[in-house]
Amino acid sequence: MPPRGVKKGTKRARQYEHIKESQREQGASESRAEEIAARTVNKERARSGESRTRSRTSTNDMSPSRRGGQRSGTDRPKGRTRDQLYNEAKKLGIEGRSSMNKAELEQAVDRRK
């Protein structure tokens, strides 16, 4: 069932079903597939001005279709976002982390581990 505000038979409803089906084929559970599809559709709606409210990350971040799973918990190197690296640095007690960029955070966290 598409997210609230998406009418049956619209482009967004078809997009939701397509993403959900694709996630199921990739091995995601039914509930996880629905969650990913709903989040993607809601983000696209926010980016195109179709929703009443929108968060800053929905409008300023990379579009989900362009990102293509870059941040999906894979084991490849550099898969962590800057925020994830920052939180790891915070747990490790790394000083100066707030002024570091992603590459610097990555180096500092990897050195500390």
Q: pLDDT tens-digit profile of 46-102? A: 877 776 666 666 666 666 666 665 655 555 555 688 888 999 999 999 999 999 999
Read off the tokens for 4: 């609230």
CA 34, CA 106: separation in Å to the nearest integer? 32
Q: Where are the domains of the chain?
A: 11-67, 82-112
Distance, CA of 63 to chain centre: 9
Q: For the stretch 53-69, what's the b/e string if a residue is b when 16 or more beta carbons lie within 10 angstroms of its beta carbon?
A: ebeeebeeeeebeeeee
**Residue 19 and residue 36 in contact, taking contact as beta carbons nearer than 8 Å:** yes
Is pTM beyond 0.75 here? no
Identify the pLDDT of residue 39.
84
Neighbour count for residue 42 (Cβ, 10 Å) = 23
pLDDT higher than threshold 90 for residue 2: no
